[in-house]
Amino acid sequence: EAGVAQSPRYKIIEKRQSVAFWCNPISGHATLYWYQQILGQGPKLLIQFQNNGVVDDSQLPKDRFSAERLKGVDSTLKIQPAKLEDSAVYLCASSLADSSTYEQYFGPGTRLTVT
Amino acid sequence: AQSVSQHNHHVILSEAASLELGCNYSYGGTVNLFWYVQYPGQHLQLLLKYFSGDPLVKGIKGFEAEFIKSKFSFNLRKPSVQWSDTAEYFCAVNNGNTGKLIFGQGTTLQVKP
């Protein structure tokens, strides 16, 4: 079974530029999560999708971050404009359903450096 | 708000030493508890989980964890570590309603051969 795919793996941009990350979840997984992991901290949920609907985006900085999951499969996360403090690893995870007992499978992450 | 605290940020052990990593959470309701591991250069993966029942849960690679409700704790243990256990370990909880995970800050374990 293929895992969660993410691209790009690394990205370096200057502040005020825009950037987009892509995630392809495990086939059949209805729930998709985007987490932000700043160096030295644990991952923090940015947004959770159930199929193509948003379940939780309470910690997404909506003035600069946006995410979509068209057709309920792939998802993109965008930052525009980027700030220095956005430097982090952006993790995508998926699970079978929006249930607290379902295991989340994580992708390799995209390491973003904002200079 | 829910939070998770991991007591040790960086642990260094010799092979065959015993391991215990502390994890405490703050939430008064039903919780599900997890330990995730990230080996160097690899993805985050599930080590073990607790939903209900026996508070002593066993995971992969000889790890176990004990849920102590009265102490809001879910400590990870392994009787004898190996060099291959070198990794970063994350404790996480969710509130039993949705899948949203709250992670601790992680503990880096370095095992010396």
Q: Are B42 and B32 in contact (CB under 8 A)?
A: no
Compare A52 and B77 and report the one with higher pLDDT. B77
How far apart are alpha carbons B6 and B33 in whole angstroms?
Answer: 13
User: How confident is the model over B85-97, as pLDDT tens digits?
Assistant: 999 999 999 877 7
Residues B98, A42: C-beta atoms closer than 8 Å: no
- Determine the pLDDT at residue A103: 86
Per residue in B12-41, pLDDT tens? 999 999 999 999 999 877 889 999 999 998
| Phi-psi group of B9: left, alpha or beta (phi > 0 → left; psi -120 to 50 → alpha; rest → beta) | alpha
Residues of chain A with pLDDT under 50: none
* Nearest by CB: B96 against A40, A98, A100: A100
What pLDDT was estimated at residue A1?
63
Calculate the average pLDDT of chain B: 93
Look at residue B77 and tell me whether its pLDDT is greater than 70.
Answer: yes
Q: Which two tokens stand for residue A89?
A: 């690893």
More confident call, B99 vs B74: B74
SS3 at position A71: helix
For residue B48, the chain A residues in CB contact (below 8 A) are none
